[in-house]
Amino acid sequence: MDVIYNEDCLLHDPPFEATRGQVKPYLECPARLESIKKFIDSQPQQFNVVRPQDYSLTPILRVHEKDYVEFLNTIYKEWVESGMPPEIAIGSAFQHPNVIGKVSQETIKKNVLATPLGKIGVYSFDTANAHTKDTWRSIYTSAQIALSGAHKLLKLVEESKKKDQQQDVVKNQTVYSLCRPPGHHSTSCVAGGYCFINNAAVATRFLQEYTLEEMDAMSRPFDSFDASKSTVASAPQPADKMKKKKIMIVDIDFHHGNGTQDIFYDDPSVLYVSLHGLPGYPFFTGSTEETGQGAGEGYNINVPMDPKITTDEIYIDNLTKVLNSAATEQFNADIIVCSMGLDTWHEDPVAGMKGLKDVETYYKMGQLLKNSKSSVGRPLLFVQEGGYTIDKLGLLAGRVLQGYLA
């Protein structure tokens, strides 16, 4: 299995976070990725680590608003230039619907965007969205790792089609985008929950809107990255496509992916399926009543579980049921994207299901992602999301991937 990875993801390293009435070291830290990378490196027969390519900002702008992406790129510099402490740029007042009342976004942006704190308040929903000197570089790299995974996966699919033309072989091609910061809490214009760019959403749209030839044509060596120029989109916009590929996103992070849900809420070409702890962060979304809207009605499936009582058996039972349900099977996805969070583990310092204690549960998750009625025979892209039990992360990630490869 190809694993896309780059050290620039380690640069984002805020000194602290404030959660649950406490100031703590930033739990979404570089050591998380290093733990997973260590496991990957210990299994060279199974995993092949490759560097990402650079696809510019264009595919990111198919999901995120331009002013939001510019904010992510420039906020740290503006913060420091305005005399704020250089260790960390972090918000304190957030744009709540009931505080802005009927004032338009246009008016708000005119007044508030002059101050870095105002900007953070417009473009973030909590204090986990912290910026340091090289945060943008990590954000950009994380998204390019997701895009590179998508490109690689499409390449594998096309190659295996050519090879197997005469035979009717079913193959689950797969690639793992090992990236941070994570993405599933970011909407098209708001950051939060350690997330900035929604990597899984960006990879999903990329798979839907670009052909393999277009991906080949727009990819550049990653070393050409230039932070100062990276707001300039260099690649062409995608042409109108004949038939959009159908993507099923399976989100197994402990937390509800409010951002991914929101991005595809009215889109029937993307089926979002989330298993998550409820009650819990991000608090305001994740119920079974959220089923999509308009043309997207029925294409959003939430499977909330009480973290206090959920055991290995209950979790696997729920995953088995949803991946073999009529709704996911009949969707008949062309490709699956798995938002792979590992914070369901019972010891997780940020989240955790109390009764999820067996490492083999992660192996079973990988098997189900491969062999269920809705997934069998489909290519799957793993995109790394949360998971904070540093010393266990490599093993947990590794068991999901090994379950898939089995």
List the one residue from 68, 76, 206, 281 that touches ligand SP5 (CB under 6 A).
281
The two three-digit tokens of residue 141, written as one number: 């790299």
Taking the chain, what is the end-to-end CA distance rounded to the nearest angstrom?
12
68 or 196: CB nearest ligand SP5: 196
Task: From the list ligand SP5, Zn ion, none, pick the one residue 128 interacts with, judged by a Cβ distance below 5 to 8 Å according to partner type.
Answer: ligand SP5
Site size with ligand SP5, rule: CB under 6 A: 16
- Does 201 bind ligand SP5 (CB under 6 A)? Our answer is no
Biggest CA–CA distance in the chain, Å, is 67
Residues involved in catalysis: 185
Task: From the list Zn ion, ligand SP5, none, pick the one residue 194 interacts with, judged by a Cβ distance below 5 to 8 Å according to partner type.
Answer: ligand SP5
- Does 196 bind ligand SP5 (CB under 6 A)? Our answer is no
Name the residues that contact Zn ion, by CB under 5 A. 253-255, 341, 343, 386
> From CA 186, how far away is CA 188, in angstroms rounded?
7
185 or 246: CB nearest ligand SP5: 185
Q: How far is the CB of 253 from ligand SP5 (least distance, A)?
A: 5
- Does 116 bind ligand SP5 (CB under 6 A)? Our answer is no
Position of tokens 């792979």? 340
> From CA 50, how far away is CA 19, in angstroms rounded?
35
Q: How far is the CB of 276 from Zn ion (least distance, A)?
A: 8
List the one residue from 91, 116, 149, 182 that touches ligand SP5 (CB under 6 A).
182
Q: How far is the CB of 345 from ligand SP5 (least distance, A)?
A: 12
List the one residue from 9, 154, 195, 353 that touches ligand SP5 (CB under 6 A).
195
The two three-digit tokens of residue 112, written as one number: 């508030």
State the Cα torsion 353-359-363-368 to the nearest 10°.
-20
> From CA 380, how far away is CA 375, in angstroms rounded?
8
Q: How far is the CB of 256 from ligand SP5 (least distance, A)?
A: 10
Assign residue 250 a region (left: φ > 0; alpha: ψ between -120 and 50; beta: otherwise). Answer: beta
10 CB-side CA count, 13 A = 11
Query: Residue 233: phi, psi to the nearest 5?
Result: -80, 125
- Does 91 bind ligand SP5 (CB under 6 A)? Our answer is no
- Does 343 bind ligand SP5 (CB under 6 A)? Our answer is yes
- Does 350 bind ligand SP5 (CB under 6 A)? Our answer is yes
Strand, helix or coil at 295?
helix
Nearby residues of 85 by Cβ (< 8 Å), 6 or more positions away: none
Nearest alpha carbon to residue 192 among 127, 137, 118: 127
- Does 127 bind ligand SP5 (CB under 6 A)? Our answer is no
> From CA 96, how far away is CA 40, in angstroms rounded?
42
Contact mark string toward ligand SP5, 9..48, x via CB under 6 A: ----------xx----------------------------
Nearest alpha carbon to residue 122 among 60, 57, 187, 167: 187
Q: Which residues of this chain interact with ligand SP5, rule CB under 6 A? A: 19-20, 128, 182, 185, 193-195, 253, 255, 281, 341, 343, 350, 385-386
